[in-house]
Structure 1
């Protein structure tokens, strides 16, 4: 059963339902409300009001997203890219990554331990395989290189 969002109350209720499940960014929330049939004017008014009331917060969304993805084993490069694709400002993304207090070196080591059982690469093929995997997860090449060569404390 699809509800038509044709009143400000319905748009607000739908937005609050989405926010009750998890934090959302303004762009993401706008897209979801549009998909549900709300007009752009009603969406903007509802989101402005939710922001004024502190129920919609880009900073909280960024903090939540970064923490969640870091716990899932993703690195800062991948997280930065995903947030950029979600329409967030580059400066806000950089600020959130700076303030997140995630030890990326420790996260990288945990991901590597889990995937490769702490086994350093024996040859160039294994090194390339491990490097590709960790780079895909979004870790910087300098950290990957230090980890794989056993110099992670440098």
Structure 2
């Protein structure tokens, strides 16, 4: 797996091109074998929304994150895989056990404090777990599942 250093360097490089995703831009691709599902911000917003208010190791204080629950997305795609391989814009990736995502109601956040997430603030998609609500998640293993600037999900 990539190191934290790689994540921070890539984030710094992408910061110069920070912008919120346009509603008609594909911001997420979910693949299963040769099948691909593409989602725009508008399409993700049309799905039932969920929110998590939490602190993270990378932000100051608690923030309210809003987006589609991973469980909702998988249900919409009629998929129930054991794991999701989530890739970020900077080539970081993490294998997220579906059971963890479902148990803790992880979301693909598109908004923070009611503002669309830009690349500069870890968007346009960031997997959020409720760290403040579940202190047992506040460890590196789970932090690695919280992929920011998520772009693709490979269903395994």
Short-chain TM bin: under 0.3
Task: Pick 1 or 2: higher relative contact order, CA cutoff 8 A, min separation 6.
Answer: 2
Which structure: greater strand fraction? Answer: 2
TM-score, L = length of structure 2: 0.23
More helix per residue: 1
Could you say which structure has the larger radius of gyration?
A: 1
